[in-house]
């Protein structure tokens, strides 16, 4: 078969209820020159029966032993991709039917920009749009490394499309990172290329109880690791200082989270890391102290407030 123009990489693990809809949203695309590479991270038999039921040669499945590391699973899809471009869709999210067509037109019109993203909508477990307090979507385009570091650029994984060669040049996702591996890659891409933005929401990110990022300790650790890494890559002292400050903030938050769960070893380790980052936030240290206080003392403190 001739190589497709776009490879869609979709990791999955025991999410059959959402997987069916995610796959259907790829098949519904108005642009049809794609391949779908599903990487199954050790799902149960029911999920695998569904995956084996698709005879369409545009869809292939890689079956793996369970790792629980999204970066490693996505990298397997990147390794098997044949398209000029690669797009990412998690198995609990959805695409609008014109997603590939509109984003490809954008990227073909801006050949110097080797990656792009779009606006998103948020949906719940039933696929209904979530009406949150409005946070304006700002379409940061061009050189956006600082906006990615500050997370001002709202870049959802299912909105990203990039040249496959570009992603491979950067080594794909960092498999040492179990959390925020997406923003790690976006940061590295933002250092090497301008980005294009489609302001129309073309992807739907689903929030549900089984979401991988519900692990707060893991998430905080991931952000601290991200800024520690970016501190070594940032091209200016101002941005390195920003990374160090953000790193310290997350280590303080991580110490407070460890204190709440009575993980004193983790708390001490995070405090040391925060101190090394010169994290001087009085509020951050106060949160640690309150979290570490005995339960009776915390209740008393709240009553006195």
* CATH code for the domain of 103: 3.90.550.10
- In tens, the pLDDT along 75-98 reads 999 999 999 999 999 999 999 999
Same domain, 290 and 188: no
- In tens, the pLDDT along 121-131 reads 988 888 778 87
Residue 74 is assigned to a structural domain of this protein: yes
Domain boundary among 197, 212, 227: 212
Q: Is 108 exposed, middle or buried (0-12, 13-18, 19+ CB in 10 A)?
A: exposed
Same domain, 15 and 95: yes
Same domain, 145 and 29: yes
Per-residue pLDDT at 112 exceeds 70: yes
Domain boundary among 212, 244, 259: 212
Residue 1 is assigned to a structural domain of this protein: no
Rounded CA gap, 184 and 179, in Å?
9
Same domain, 51 and 187: yes
Percent of the chain residues topping a pLDDT of 90: 72
Same domain, 30 and 146: yes
Look at residue 161 in the predicted model and tell me its pLDDT: 98
Look at residue 299 in the predicted model and tell me its pLDDT: 43
Residue 47 is assigned to a structural domain of this protein: yes
- In tens, the pLDDT along 233-247 reads 999 999 999 999 999
Look at residue 296 in the predicted model and tell me its pLDDT: 45
What Å distances lie between residue 24 and 50, 52, 186, 268, CA to CA?
12, 15, 27, 48
Look at residue 196 in the predicted model and tell me its pLDDT: 98
| Residues 135-149, mean pLDDT to the nearest whole number | 94
Confidence class for position 18, pLDDT limits 50, 70, 90 = very high
Rounded CA gap, 98 and 114, in Å?
20
Look at residue 185 in the predicted model and tell me its pLDDT: 98
Same domain, 144 and 279: no
Per-residue pLDDT at 211 exceeds 60: no
Residue 283 is assigned to a structural domain of this protein: yes
Q: Which domain holds residue 242?
A: 215-304
Residue 163 near residue 195 (C-beta atoms within 8 A): no
């Amino acid at each position: 078969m001739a190589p497709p123009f776009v490879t869609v990489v979709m990791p999955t693990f025991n999410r059959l209820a959402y997987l069916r809809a995610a796959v259907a949203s790829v098949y519904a695309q108005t642009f049809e020159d794609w391949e779908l590479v599903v990487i199954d991270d050790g799902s149960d038999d029911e999920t695998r029966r569904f995956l084996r039921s698709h005879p369409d040669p545009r869809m292939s499945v890689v079956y793996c032993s369970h790792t629980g590391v999204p970066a490693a699973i996505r990298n397997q899809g990147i390794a098997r991709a044949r398209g000029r471009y690669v797009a990412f869709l998690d198995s609990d999210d959805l695409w609008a039917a014109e997603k590939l067509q509109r984003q490809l037109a954008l990227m073909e019109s801006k050949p110097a920009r080797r990656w792009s993203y779009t606006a998103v909508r948020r949906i719940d477990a039933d696929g209904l749009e979530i009406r949150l307090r409005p946070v304006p979507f700002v379409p940061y385009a061009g050189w956006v490394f600082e906006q990615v570091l500050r997370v001002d650029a709202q870049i959802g994984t299912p909105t990203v499309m990039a040249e496959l060669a570009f992603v491979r040049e950067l080594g794909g996702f960092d498999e040492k990172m179990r959390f925020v591996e997406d923003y790690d890659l976006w940061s590295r891409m933002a250092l090497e290329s301008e980005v294009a933005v489609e302001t129309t929401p073309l992807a739907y990110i689903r929030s549900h109880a089984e979401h991988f990022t519900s692990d707060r300790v893991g998430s905080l650790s991931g952000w601290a690791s991200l800024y520690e890494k970016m501190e070594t890559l940032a091209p200016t002292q101002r941005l390195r200082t920003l990374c160090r400050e953000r790193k310290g903030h997350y280590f303080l938050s991580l110490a407070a989270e460890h204190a709440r769960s009575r993980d004193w070893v983790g708390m001490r380790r995070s405090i040391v890391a925060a101190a090394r980052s010169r994290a001087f936030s009085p509020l951050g240290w106060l949160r640690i102290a309150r979290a570490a206080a005995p339960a009776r003392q915390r209740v008393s403190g709240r009553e006195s407030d």
